Copies of this chain bind each other. A is one copy, B any other.
Amino acid sequence: MFEMPTLSIGQYTLVYNMLSFAIASMFAAFVFFIMSQNRVAPKYRISLMVSALVVGIAGYHYFRIFGSWTEAYQLSGGVYEATGKPFNDAYRYVDWLLTVPLLLVELVLVLGLARSKANSMLTRLVIAAIAMIALGYPGELIKDATSMFSDRGLWGLLSTFPFLYILYVLWGELGKAMASQPPRVAKLFEGIRWLLLATWGFYPIAYMMPFFGLSGAGAEVGLQVGYSIADVLAKAGYGLMIYAIARAKTEADAEFEEVISAPAPAVA
């Protein structure tokens, strides 16, 4: 059975505080995305709503993870020892199963593409996202794997294919759609794509940690701190960039409206 490592007070508290930081960030972002609805044109509000759902769901899960963390440890003789109650890190997978498809949905929706194009892309991205998470989960449960060539490695590999497909759509198909977008939107899209790659890239690294013999107190603390930062950036930070795109598109649409609705110049 997988045993949680004994932690110093400083290590335990660092994770505790980072989990709490994630709760606060997610719920603050939730309030912001709800409240900023009418700062963007009606057609982009759905993306802000989805952003709100994502950070709301993540806030709930961080609340649960936080609870599980406090139950997994007890202070004993100046250090934190495992109580034997398993720390339920798998909450993260449940969270991702819901939030990762939604993150892709909000990105496609905010670009305001033609409905048929958007629908087809959404369907494929959502299926790929669900496959990616569902294939990673069985491997995550195999905590004692020490080699790439284990069942954990195999599940990880299977999960990589849908991930590559998502990147392929983001850089290929969606990238092409940028040609018809205002320059500011294209620039923000470029940024959000890199944010996605950088933050999502943390998860496979965390997944592979046991293969490199990384375990024990330092690894566990690094993992939890890393997950918390990656999640806040990938959800609240990402949502803020979606909001920036929605604002930029609202302004671009307004300029366009002004041009076409301006009265024809009087001819002398």
User: Contact between A25 and B98 (Cβ–Cβ < 8 Å)?
Assistant: yes
User: Contact between A141 and B10 (Cβ–Cβ < 8 Å)?
Assistant: yes
User: Contact between A35 and B21 (Cβ–Cβ < 8 Å)?
Assistant: no
User: Contact between A32 and B9 (Cβ–Cβ < 8 Å)?
Assistant: no
**Chain B residues near A49 (CB, 8 Å)?**
32, 35-36
**Chain B residues near A64 (CB, 8 Å)?**
20
Main SS at interface, chain A: helix
Query: Which residue in B10, B36, B39, B75 is a CB contact (below 8 Å) of A85?
Result: B75
A88 at the interface (CB under 8 A from B): yes
Q: What bracket does the count of chain A residues touching chain B fall in?
A: 35 or more
User: Contact between B98 and A17 (Cβ–Cβ < 8 Å)?
Assistant: no
User: Contact between B86 and A21 (Cβ–Cβ < 8 Å)?
Assistant: no
A165 at the interface (CB under 8 A from B): no
CA distance A146 to B262 in the complex (A): 72
Q: Nearest chain-B residue to A17 (Cβ)?
A: B94
User: Contact between A91 and B35 (Cβ–Cβ < 8 Å)?
Assistant: no
**Chain B residues near A194 (CB, 8 Å)?**
none
User: Contact between A97 and B57 (Cβ–Cβ < 8 Å)?
Assistant: no
3 cross-chain pairs, A with B, having the tightest CB-CB distances, nearest first: A21-B94, A28-B53, A17-B94
Offer 23 A-B interface pairs, CB within 8 angstroms, sorted by A: A1-B9, A13-B88, A13-B90, A13-B141, A17-B94, A20-B61, A20-B91, A20-B94, A21-B97, A23-B60, A24-B60, A24-B61, A24-B98, A28-B53, A28-B98, A31-B53, A32-B53, A34-B35, A35-B49, A36-B49, A39-B45, A39-B46, A75-B84
